[in-house]
Amino acid sequence: MNIELINLEEKVTNAILAAKLNEVIEALNNLNAPRDRGPKAERTMTDDDARRVIFGDLKDASHKTAAETLGLSYGQIYSARKGFTFKPIHKEAASAETAE
């Protein structure tokens, strides 16, 4: 968003200043808008969900897409894939790889 400067050559009224100030405030509020990471969790993540996102049919999907598909949050998918949660599922995947 590009906010135009006030022309100081013209008469500046309170209405002009108020309008310009509101424009600046709106621009600042939009700068601090949170990123859209996907849906809020509708339920808790299960072991089967973790298997799907770690090494199943959703392993190649983005965190956001996997979250939308399963009705989970971006953070739940991220945490499971990075190994912060569902550590036994990660061990399962590692032992399956070494068995091959």
51-100 confidence digits (pLDDT tens): 999 999 999 999 999 999 999 999 999 999 999 999 999 888 888 777 76
Given a contact cutoff of 8 angstroms between Cβ atoms, the answer to whether 17 and 11 are in contact is no
Q: What is the pLDDT of residue 1?
A: 66
Distances from the Cα of 34 to the Cα of 3, 4, 62, 63, 79, angstroms: 22, 25, 19, 17, 19
